[in-house]
């Protein structure tokens, strides 16, 4: 029985993007004090090693004919492309909007939009789940951990209530 070759082009996209981000992180934080970048450096080098292992495994599969460099899984099925692009827009909007909206409001809006793009119904379920997750994250990261994530109206309200 002949097995269909794996599409490594699609499979390697995220590891290669992670590798690029890690190299960028290490390059841009090189002048910082070691305490500020210690965890990032440790995690970054572990990630680089894991991507290296994945690349070696992939090269072996390519050489043995068990894989090809196809990107087909990224665009198939074609009917899902609208949802994929919609989720990309939601993600970009979240990253761009968090500094202004804060984690709570940004996460609520992104989750609600993402659920809507993916076809979750009814609207009440979207709003309840988005609210509960956003509130839990805001409480955890702002009140309990004081993580320093961007504050928006939700975090400012929670800080007034709990402090």
| pLDDT tens digits, one per residue of 47-79 | 999 999 999 999 999 999 999 999 888 888 888
83/162: higher pLDDT: 83
Residue 7 β-bridge partners: 68
**Residue 6: what are its φ and ψ, rounded to 5°?**
-70, 145
**Residue 93's pLDDT band (cuts 50, 70, 90):** very high
The 3-state DSSP class for residue 16 equals: helix
Q: How many other CB atoms sit within 10 Å of the CB of residue 73?
A: 13
Q: Which has the closest alpha carbon to 154: 119, 104, 120, 86?
A: 104
70: left (phi over 0), alpha (psi -120 to 50) or beta: beta
Q: Give the predicted TM-score (pTM) of the model.
A: 0.64
Maximum distance among all Cα pairs of the chain, rounded to whole angstroms: 66
Q: State the DSSP H helix or E strand holding residue 7, giving kind and residue range, or none if neither.
A: strand 6-7
């Amino acid at each position: 029985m002949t097995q269909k070759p794996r599409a490594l082009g699609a499979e390697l996209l995220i590891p290669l993007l992670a590798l690029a981000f890690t190299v960028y992180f290490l390059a841009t934080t090189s002048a910082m004090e070691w305490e500020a970048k210690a965890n990032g450096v440790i995690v970054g080098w572990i990630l680089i090693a894991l991507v290296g292992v994945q690349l070696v495994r992939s090269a072996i599969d390519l050489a043995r004919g068990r894989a090809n460099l196809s990107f087909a899984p990224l665009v198939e099925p074609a009917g899902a492309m609208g949802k994929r692009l919609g989720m990309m827009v939601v993600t970009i909007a979240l990253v761009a909007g968090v500094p202004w909206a804060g984690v709570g409001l940004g996460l609520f809006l992104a989750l609600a939009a993402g659920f809507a793009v993916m076809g979750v119904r009814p609207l009440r379920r979207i709003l309840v789940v988005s609210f509960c997750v956003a509130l839990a994250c805001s409480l955890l990261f702002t009140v309990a951990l004081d993580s320093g994530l961007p504050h928006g109206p939700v975090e400012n309200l929670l800080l007034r209530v709990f402090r």
